[in-house]
Amino acid sequence: MSQMKEGIMIILSSPSGAGKTTLVKLLSERKGLITSISHTTRKPRSNEVNGKDYHFVTNDVFKKMINNQEFLEYAKVFKNFYGTTKSTIFAQLSKGKNVIFDIDWQGTEQIISQKLKNKILTFFILPPSRKELFKRLSNRDMRDKLIAEERMKQFDKDILHWKDYDYVIVNKDLEVCYSQISKFIDDKINGDENQYDTSIIEAHIKKLIS
């Protein structure tokens, strides 16, 4: 029982464009999860707010934070740095708050390898099809379509990391996807067993990479 006093860490990763950011917002709002706000050296998109979506910092500031060992994990993704700071996260977890992270597979690996005392639940979110993924990536506030194409290439590499996650979820319908994740989180918190069939996922992955 005592380990449940500490909050659990819920990690969502996905190849870019699978709809993970929307899911994280929904999970946080509806389930009262604390969202981890990362630091990044990426420039803000037009709809992003500093301190809410990310803490936008310069390369120099980020490097100083690395040297000061402020990060629980950090990684370079698409030529920019992204990282999760230790201080706020651990303060929340020790108060029993459950924290949700929107980070890539490199950060997930780093957190798992630290063997923290907190329970960790990891989800890898996939798009329903390549066609839909390209559509989502092209609709973003990006300088040109080349970036979408670059991210499609990255998708083929990122998808290979699905095996490192507890659950792989296909985001075809936002509400269905939300309900699946929500149930797995509740099961983890309550210590309940659950049904999870990897054969459907393996078939979907084959389709996505072929």
* Binding stretches for ligand 5GP (CB under 6 A): 16, 38, 42, 73, 75, 77, 82-84, 102-104, 106-107
DSSP assignments along 149-208, one per residue: HHHHHHHHHHGGGGGGSSEEEE-SSHHHHHHHHHHHHHHHHHT------HHHHHHHHHHH
Whichever of 66 and 200 has its CB closer to ligand 5GP, that residue is 66
**Which H or E run includes 99?**
strand 99-102
Whichever of 6 and 104 has its CB closer to ligand 5GP, that residue is 104
Task: Give the shortest CB-83-to-ligand 5GP separation in angstroms.
Answer: 5
Whichever of 107 and 127 has its CB closer to ligand 5GP, that residue is 107
Give the integer Cα–Cα distance in Å for 27 and 18: 15
Task: Give the shortest CB-146-to-ligand 5GP separation in angstroms.
Answer: 16
Coil, strand, or helix at residue 35?
Answer: strand
Task: Give the shortest CB-23-to-ligand 5GP separation in angstroms.
Answer: 11
Give the integer Cα–Cα distance in Å for 182 and 202: 22
Task: Give the shortest CB-195-to-ligand 5GP separation in angstroms.
Answer: 27
